[in-house]
Structure 1
Amino acid sequence: MAVSSGFDGNGAAAAPIRVLGPLEVCGERGPVSVAPGRQEIVLGALVLELNRVVETTRLVDALWAHDPPKTARAQVQICISRLRKALSDGGVDAIIETRARGYILRAAEDATDIGTFRRLVAEAHALARDGRKMPAVERLRSATGLWRGRCLAGLPSEALAGTAAQWDERRLEAVETCMRLLLELGRHEHLVGELMQLVGCHPLRERLRGHLMVALYRSGRQAEALDAYHRGRAMLAEELGLEPGRELRDLAQAILTDDPGLALEPAAPRAVAPALCSEAAQERGADRDPVVTPRQLPADIGDFVADGTLVSAVGDAVTEGQDKGQLNVVLVLGGPGVGKSTLARHVAHRLATEHFPDGQLYCDLREAGGQLVGPAQVLGRFLRALGVPGQAIPEALDERAEMYRSLLAGRRILVLLDDAVSESQVMPLLPGTGSSGVLVTSRGQLTALPGTRRFDVEPLGQVQAVQLLGRIIGEQRVESEREAAGDLIRLVGGLPLALRIIGARLVARPHWSLTSMWHRLENEQRRLDELAHGELSIRASLSLSYDGLAAADRRLLCLLSLAEGTEIPSWLGAALLDDTTPHPTDLLEPLIDMRLLDITATDRDGEFRCGMWHIVRMFARERLSEESTEAERAGAVRRMVGGWMALVERAHKEIYGGTYTLVAGRGERWYPPEDHVRSCLRDPLGWLESEQGNLLNAVELAARSGLDELCWELATALVTLFEARGYPELWERTHRVALAAVQRTGNERGQAAVLGSLGTLHLYRGEHEAAGPYLSAALEIFERVGEVRGQALCLRDLARIERHHGDDDRALALYESAERHFVRAQDVIGRAYVLGEMAHITMRRADFTRTRSALDEALGICRSAGFGRGQALALRRLGQMLMYQERYEEAERTLLEVLAMVGASGDLVGEGYVLHDLGRVNAHLRRTDQAVRYYSRSARIRERILDHSGAAAVRADIVAILGRPMTPVC
């Protein structure tokens, strides 16, 4: 290991621990000696994850790429002990702490050159946003000057190479940003030589080549600028068989035509000059995969009425300064029923097409039951809407927020956040750049939210209120009783919600006069006097609509308040009433007519979904005891949860070809009409995702209602969704609720099912040590109660832990036991999965006869059941086995079949892996051009889902096949 003088190249004090080059450590007492080899690798791994836990298994992988010794963990402990002593003896202000799963290096960020680099780059970006470009350049120069070669140069660890390559990539990104800023400052003539050197070192980086072309053009060297483009184009064609990206092509055309947009000027940059575009916009790259454009705004209100001045003012506040990169956060404030959400949605629709063409994101920050929606959950929804697969969404709130800001950077997207309660809900949801806009509604002031424009929504004035009432019941009817209309408006204080309810009753009763309606309201004058104090007046107004319902409809409205989801499917009313009508939507029609329910969506078969205002739900809940007995309410909840359970179970059957891999319980089902079931389960996984909110609420309602059997069954069945679409946080949330429910009642079978599923969750997260106790406890209970399928599932997952620990013999024995149990349980899909895992072990042992037999059987099972995901998994294993056997043409045919399958199902992560496999196959076949094409497609997908380490691994394979580095550090 090289020793450090303690100073960087500029004579400034250097960080004690340096990895941006060869690993160096320098403490208060001078250079610190770290033994080369294992100790250097362990320290390097800890530094790359500074202040984060590095699992022992990760350190083992870093030290031994293949076949670690049985003493691997002990040797890691020895390395840690010696490193602690070296750091302490050298006076380095850093300590290594032991954690349950591994170790963590605790130190200040500036104790490492990586931390210093990160701080300097962040400061540079902040300065650039404030228009202070030269100080930003100085920070970036200092940051890139920290490099002394490749990150962790000389460390013989394949496992660390991908992460180290990410830091080398960040250095180049900082260099590119620095060049861009200097071009914007008019330093083009001084940059030509430096940019030529950089392009020579990194000939395939189009952004650097674009900067060089702009610098040459502005220096009066138009021909050389075009020559730089053509040389780059020829190199891309020769090396990769690709054309330059669209931005570089547009830039060349602009230079050729002497486009005035290339001139140095303070105005906003033009799209034809990518070297002048914002860094974030270039990062997205127009030549990459198509960007997902979310359109999440709820429908606008057709009879919307409001103060036109206020509508214009809110719209102007959202878009003011947008072209200058100014982020506007606009708050629309007001009490319940005043129409703030309706106003915000109307403004959003007015602005969407012209000002925010890249999309609109929407979330109601308060769930139907009043529970707040956390920012991490909202970010998960938004990231999925922006095209990020569930498996690629990080767990931590700050990491989700960083990914979200990166995806919004440079895009013109409107974010509408409805019914915010606190600043902490909103802050992580704000974009990082000014091209987007944010519109927030709230009942509170949110005074700690910085940089916001606030607009208070008041009750409608007389003119607007008359207009609204006329649009609901007809202008002629209002005009004929103008004085009574004015009295009604004054009676309800001009509240839009109250006026809509009154209008609905008058529409339903055309023989009623406005005067008679006023007399009805006058009888409740004592409560209406409290109108300005919030919900009491709204409750009084709602009671008018409630009184107009038939007894059966009143009972249904109150029972619907038990359903806490944001939307009500059409079958739910029938379940609550235990009605077997073939057209359950008919039961909801009277409530829709009275505007107590709103139609929120209609499918292609005409089935609709309804929404219930939060305040209507509260009102109905208060009257629930008047309309039903406790036994009736308990039966309604049981049927509602049983209906969700029946549909989830059916969706699982459609996906897996049967109730395979599920531990069955004895909870009571309620079956919706078969036509409805077939309609909503045309895409069973899509249906599960669309009903996610309702299903989560059903699990929690079952727990609160003492339905522990249905609770655990529903929670464990939902793993079908959580695992396939990447919802580990919801997996844990539902299972913690279910576990508490079954523990309260002593439900052993349910406890085992939930504990076993929690063990699987930990394996899904890569937390192998944490999974063991859950699986062992579940297995013990399953054995005691004689649940064979449950035992099989636990044995399968315990085998996965043994494989992770490197004990293939023990893993194989457990897999064989699991297979026998799956056979006894007649669970063919569970057995097929185990066959595939055993095949992976025998494949590595070169026992190809046994491997092929197992994979053929697994594939046959999955095909017979119609389980597409299982077929793809088995076929990919088969393709890998053929590669092991050097039967590359057969491997290619098999993997191409898998590629078609994952592409058809929209499995982006799987597509990235299979493309990487195909690249390796073609590399073995010496088809260099085709291999590079597959690698390039794989890398683009990995970058799209922000899998930087995966993209780095693919780029490493490209480097290997081309025989020279693609991005060397100058």
Structure 2
Amino acid sequence: MSLRFSLMGPVRAWRDDEEIDLGPRQQRAVLAALLLNNGIRLSNDQLIGMVWDDPTPSAVMALRTYMYKIRKAVPELDLKSKDGGYTLRAEIFDDCRDEPLEGLSSTYFEAQRVRIGNERLQCREALLEREMDVLELQKHVAAFPLRERTRALLMQALYRDGRQADALEQFHQARALLNEQLGLEPGPELREVHAQILRGELNLARRPEQLPPGLPDFTGRTAEIALALRTLPRTVGITGMHGSGKTALATHVAHLAKHGYPDGQIFVRGKDIANELLRAVGVENPHGDKAALWREKARGKRFLVVVDDVHDPAQIAELHTPGSAMILTSVRRWNELPSVTWLKVAGLTEAEANEFFRKVLDPARADAEVDVTDEVLARISYLPNPIRVLGGKLTGRANWTVAMLLAQMKRETQLGDAIPSDCMAVLAPMIKAEQQLTEQGRHLLQCFARRDADVIDVCEAAEMSGADPGSIEYALEALADVHLIEPLVLGRYRLPHFVRMYFGWRAPVLTS
């Protein structure tokens, strides 16, 4: 059960989603005084002075009555009198929509209204400074035309967007307004921004927005998304075999979380991660210790960094900075990286795979052949990337049925240079994985595929491959590390259907 209070608008409280009746205005005023001093003990005299400007002797009895009714309405507060005073501890929710302390009119509440208003205004302006959104800055300047700081920010944002004349016009408007209403000239910050624009010397920090577009048909991964969002800003790692949708999941999570990282979002893939991060924030051709330089540039900022397809954990180990968040994707799980919460992804669930296939293909075509569709999806282990390719292939062949596609998949195929491009696209995850295997690993998978068994143990693997039983487990663990087999219990492994199908196709070519 959760209990929430709000001081924005009338004083209000909720128990879970149900609003609590807090009684008449003066009773709410007593509660508001306690909430404004959350965790601080207030004496009876202090509370009376806050609620009543000119209290009468009856105020003491009125206070006791109101405290009794507040305790009755919200017993969870455990609000008891101690040493002639009261202490309240509660969660206060600010929805930033209404004026605070509506209907409460004592001198104390008037002062608190001004204080809260100023704090909210400063928080809003700090957010505007981080985001530098022209439209939002224009709205704020229109609402508070005499605040020079936000006027200067608007000038910078306009200049950044190539609107130099509009930026200079903002200065002239501010100068005329200050002269007319206050008899003042613009302050030093506004004058300096104006001068820098005239000299062409206004340098603005680059705010990177590099996330790839999210996928409108993204499907599933509900538990993984929830865990990733709970973990950020601590580092999240996403691991899984080729074709399992690691990059799509990382991008999806990043789009959901990006509003909490107003200094920018950076997406990098490559061998020199630190160099790419520095380039993203405007540092060209950096020299020396690039990781240290990145930490310096990122200090005090809130960046969201996605590093796709990590091959060298040493490049990541020194890049994390407090306040910023990092999402990694990698086929291999790098256990040597500290403080990373790893999520393992494989195929979608059967239901999710069907849902995704129906998003890519006309749902009516999939629904007309439900059983055949299930078999097609099972043959590719419900992996998102092959599902997208197969759905797209059928979309481009209006006269094909799903059964025709399955028949083609079952046909014995000699893989080589003549493989059709659409088949190559479906098999791309396996082709890429095979290229990264040792000869021993390739041979083992070939043997497993010929055996056509779901589960293999160490002894069977040694017998089939002819390898030394003492060393075979190391080779099996290497395959498990890149998700081509799935570890069950010690010494036993499962071979995914898609892997078995691919290496079954490859075996005749490799052993001829």
Going by fraction, where is helix more abundant, 1 or 2?
1
Higher normalized contact order (CA 8 Å, seq sep 6+, divided by chain length): 2
- TM-score using structure 2 length: 0.43
- TM-score using structure 1 length: 0.24
